[in-house]
Amino acid sequence: MAEPVSDSHEVAERAAADGSEVALRKFSAKRVNEHVKSVYAFAYTLAAAIIGAAYIIASVTKGAAQVDLDAPGWVLIGLTLHGFGHFVIWRFLRRED
């Protein structure tokens, strides 16, 4: 049984030493996918915060009955960021098999 690997550089070195191009390709895809998922999570979280803040701030400052006219604009910005996150996943996520 192989030893557990603690460092990503060790994985790359071990795969290169084995001559396994498949292992190197999988490792590369996993590294890229982690970065892509981080960008997606950031865009999604920012979008949720903007959408939530648009209505929370409007309801706190002007009351729940009066929604500010700027709120739909901020919601549109939030939805655009949410869509950007989905685009990043769709466009840049690599297959790991």
Mean predicted confidence (pLDDT) in 78-96? 91
Angle between helices 8-18 and 21-62 (to 10 degrees): 150
95 with 29: CB under 8 angstroms?
yes
In tens, the pLDDT along 34-84 reads 999 999 999 999 999 998 888 787 778 776 666 666 778 888 999 999 999
Q: How far is residue 85's CA from residue 61's CA, in Å, rounded to a whole number?
A: 30
Alpha-helix residue ranges (DSSP H) falling in the chain = 8-18, 21-62, 71-92
pLDDT at 1 over 50: no
Query: How many residues are present in the chain?
Result: 97
